[in-house]
Structure 1
Amino acid sequence: MDDLKRRKQKNIVDFSLVKSEKKIKGKKKPLKKLEFYIILIASALVFGFAFVTFMYQTVTMKGPSMQGTIEDEDVVVVSKMRKFIKGVHVNDVIAVKRSKDTYYSIKRVVAKPGDSVQIIGGKLYVNDELQEKFKDQIIVNPGNASNKIVLEKNQFYVLGDNVNNSDDSRFPAVGIVQKTDITGIVIYKLSPKEHKGKVK
């Protein structure tokens, strides 16, 4: 009789242990799912931050040199990614910052590597052709473009849209821009609200 009682008690204990193990295993599954979702969300946040930091940047326009397109103190979005994927082209508005600069210069590309640039009689000529973008303006000071300049590899010539109130490639403060000094392409005006929109 004692043996029979002991066996029954053992069976009850064994059954209780099996039930406890099943409960623990059942709890582990939701915990694993929760850990997975936490890791997934954290990874997405890190990737999102890296994407924004390395692909885009906001820059504040300083000065009146791009008036009519971008106003003084407008905040713009600069696409670093577009520079590497599509390259830099004539008519792009770019943000430039060299290591010695304390702020970004925002200007329009008017000539690319291999092009010749000259300002004659207040008019801009690229490859000896009159440029439509500035044909309605008389450029008062031709600066270094009073003589024909031929751009070398990775060199770009930039002007401000408000050309007679702009420090740009004509003058030493900006000069001919090296590709490595181009942060990216200005694609959008973010603020103030009334100026929001694409940059053309």
Structure 2
Amino acid sequence: MKQEIIEWVKTILISLVIALIITTFVKPTIVKNHSMSHTLEENDFLMINRLLYRRSEPNDGDIIVFRSPLTTATGQEKLLIKRIIGLPGDEIVISEGQVYINGNPLEEPYLEDGYTLGDISMVVPEGKLFVMGDNRNNSLDSRDQMLGLVDEDDIVGKAFLRLYPFSRFGLLQ
């Protein structure tokens, strides 16, 4: 009986340590809007790498979760998920539906219709990122003054794995 109790305690302690390690490095999140359709859909369950940007810099095309200046109806901090389009020092131009980075048209195979609304011409300042949703017609992103550029310090992590729905399980590009 005593040996069985010891085995149960060891199993519980090991499980707690593993859970603590996982939640330190990885954060689960659920997509709550359509701004990243068709790459991500509402209610997709994702895993976010929380430590990646402590060791390395964000890259163009990364899908990130970040704290926004917006709040929920209950006054809580609102997390958003978007794709990084421009890094510090990049010149972003949006004209006639096309996005240009440093004078080159941006290849965006993840877009449904390939058209981006807005007219923008700017250089991304140090410490900031220009982000947009993949569903450009239904995305509050860096094109909108309400959100604007994202501070690198506000990044929660990079989305890297979709766990649910099981039919779309896999690593995110």
- TM-score interval, normalised by the smaller of the two chains: 0.7 to 0.9
Instruction: Map 1:78-117; keep pairs closer than 5 Å.
Output: 78-98=48-68, 100-102=70-72, 103-117=78-92
SS of the equivalent of 1:50 reads helix
Contact 1:59 1:104 in 2 (8 A): no
Label 1:99 to 1:132 Cα distance change in 2 as closer, same or farther (>3 A). Answer: closer
What amino acid does structure 2 have at the position aligned with 1:62? Answer: K
| Aligned-pair CA distance for 1:83 | 2.0
CA distance in 2, matches of 1:172, 1:48: 42
Structure 1 pair 101/181, CA: closer, same or farther in 2 (3 Å)? farther
**Are 1:160 and 2:133 matched, yes or no?**
yes
- For the 8 Å contact 2:69–2:147, the answer to whether it is kept is no
The CA RMSD measured in Å over matched residues stands at: 2.5
Equivalent residue runs for 1:25-44 within 5 Å:
44=14
**8 Å Cα contact 1:168-1:174 kept in structure 2:** yes
- Structure 2 Cα separation of the partners of residues 165 and 79 of structure 1: 26
Question: Which of 123, 127, 149 is 1:150 aligned to?
Answer: 123
| 2:114 aligned with 1:137 | yes
Q: Which amino acid aligns with 2:82?
A: K
2:147 to 174, 183, 187: 174
CA contact (8 A) 2:68 2:80 kept: no
Q: Compute the TM-score of the two structures, normalised by the length of structure 2.
A: 0.82
Task: Decide which structure has greater strand share.
Answer: 2
Deviation per CA, 1:70-108: give whole Å up to 9, x if none.
Answer: 101111110012222232111100011236534321111
Structure with the bigger percentage of helix: 1
1-structure distance, mates of 2:28, 2:136: 24
RCO comparison, higher one (Cα < 8 Å, 6+): 2
TM (norm. structure 1) is 0.72
Q: Secondary structure at the match of 1:110?
A: strand
Residue 155 of structure 1 deviates from its aligned partner by 0.5
Q: How far 1:138 moved relative to its partner?
A: 1.7
Q: 2:33 aligns with which of 43, 63, 70?
A: 63
Cα deviation, residue 49, structure 1: 2.9
The sequence identity of aligned pairs, in percent, is: 25
- Partner of 1:125, secondary structure, is strand
Structure of higher CA gyration radius: 1
Look up the match of 1:124.
99
